[in-house]
Structure 1
């Protein structure tokens, strides 16, 4: 089981009409009845266009990928056409909502009244994921998260489609012992980052150094420019890889942290 995440080499797309349904919340409800294609443009062409990344966070496919996947996911996904000058593209509206969270093993944040506020870690009950599932959402995070199974990854691998990052894994055999070992390695990696730091900088000074070509880190957070000169913000994941994004805004907590120089990632 995996998060559906684009890697840093996939094409990036910009929405032009912010009043269009494309800019609305995709929460698992059907949208095809009232859908009309909306104009989008290429923001960064990059290396791959199999799974373009719409910068507002919606998953997409080109026509060749859709042709392969449609027989497998037609009951789980709506393929909603987009208007692009060069490519035939579709945004994916995943309508397959499953109740499959293992609440006992998941790390749940709660509000003061005890109601759900978010997951620090989500664990799935694999017995509640029907055999033959390719793509799904859970109701708690349906507007922001899409999950795919090994069946989905198998199709991607067999057809050599490019542009996805399968580093965030949810394993049915992920025992408590494995979980504790992963946490130990993660804590050790954070300790190594902190032990080897030299001079520390405030956020504004660190940001200037990033523009000059440095990579800066603070705990699990890292920032640097990619090979195209874009500013990226990364968070260290439990598998010790970084999840990178072009931030729409900088979380205030990062502005208060001290930063130090580290080795650049290849992005």
Structure 2
């Protein structure tokens, strides 16, 4: 289920950057934009976790010291915004692959590794200060509890495994490079971005290096990035990274479904 906010100036539209909001919070009306099969985790916007009262009751004992459950008003559902207030400084910067701007400012993590000694036992959910406004990290314990209760509508992407050794990392990189090389070797006719985008609108799947673009069954545009585990991370972009506008694209067959993140 997708929801929207009636009062655009409410705190729900602010950056959930780890600061406590409970003392300032007033319940706000949200409305259903689109009904889906599952509604345990209604979709609102990137970086904001919305849960039903049933989900809150199941997770509260695990999360209570790390989050605030902020009440929302809905015509038929008991809903809460989850404000994650645990911010950790646990990135292993030596092993992580980090992208910076031309001015040397942090841009994004291409690949992230954690220093597990800096993650205290019992921490099931947290944020990093670098990505606090749009990224939430959870542990396997959180995932298992969600699966145990058979809650639906939340997709998990594995971004770090404490058993992932340097040797495994090197092998993963080798396979990733080989996959990109195979993409290059299997190029057919190449298209500029605008022409490729028109073909996507006609139902084609287009690829350029690690990037792929396609439409889903509802005709919505998705941009995918090939990850080191050779899966694609799909997003519905609000804008196209300028560098992709100058890349050459070619058509590929697509057998992979797009999933909302």
Give the TM-score taking structure 2 as reference length.
0.90
Alpha carbons 2:46, 2:134 under 8 Å: kept: no
Match of 2:7 in 1: 17
Cα distance in 1, alignment partners of residues 98 and 45 from structure 2: 28
Contact 2:47/2:135 (<8 A) preserved: no
Native 8 Å contact 2:190 2:248 kept in 1:
yes
Shift of residue 94, structure 1, vs aligned partner: 0.3
Distance 1:253 1:205 in 2: 16
Q: Provide closer, same or farther for how the CA distance between residues 189 and 47 of structure 1 changes in structure 2, counting only shifts above 3 A.
A: farther
Whether 2:199 is the aligned partner of 1:238: answer no
> What displacement does 1:56 show?
4.2
Q: 1:16 to 1:104 in 2, by over 3 A?
A: same
Give the corresponding residue for 1:266.
257
- Counterpart for residue 90 of structure 1: 80
Task: Note the residue ranges of structure 2 that are not aligned, 5 or more in a row.
Answer: none
CA contact (8 A) 1:168 1:239 kept: no
Candidates 10, 16, 32, aligned match of 1:26: 16
Instruction: State the distance in 2 between where 1:212 and 1:112 align.
Output: 37
SS in 1 for 2:183: helix
Of 171, 178, 186, the residue aligned with 1:196 is 186
Equivalent residue runs for 1:10-159 within 5 Å: 11-109=1-99, 118-159=108-149
**Superimposed CA distance per residue, residues 76-120 of structure 1 (whole angstroms, 9 cap, x where no aligned partner):** 011112233332221111001122122222234456786655433
Shift of 1:126: 0.8
Segment drifting more, 137-146 vs 124-133: 137-146
Aligned mates of 1:169, 1:198 — CA distance in 2: 32
CA deviation string 1:146-187 (max 9, x = no partner): 110111011012111222222323111111111111111111
Distance 1:191 1:46, change over 3 A: farther
Q: Per the alignment, in what secondary structure is the counterpart of residue 166 of structure 1?
A: coil
Aligned residue pair count: 257
Question: TM-score, normalized by length of structure 1?
Answer: 0.88
Greater RCO (CA < 8 Å, at least 6 residues apart)? 1
Task: Tell me whether 1:207 sits opposite 2:201 in the alignment.
Answer: no
> Is the counterpart of residue 247 in structure 1 residue 256 in structure 2?
no
> What RMSD in Å do the two structures reach over aligned CA positions?
2.0
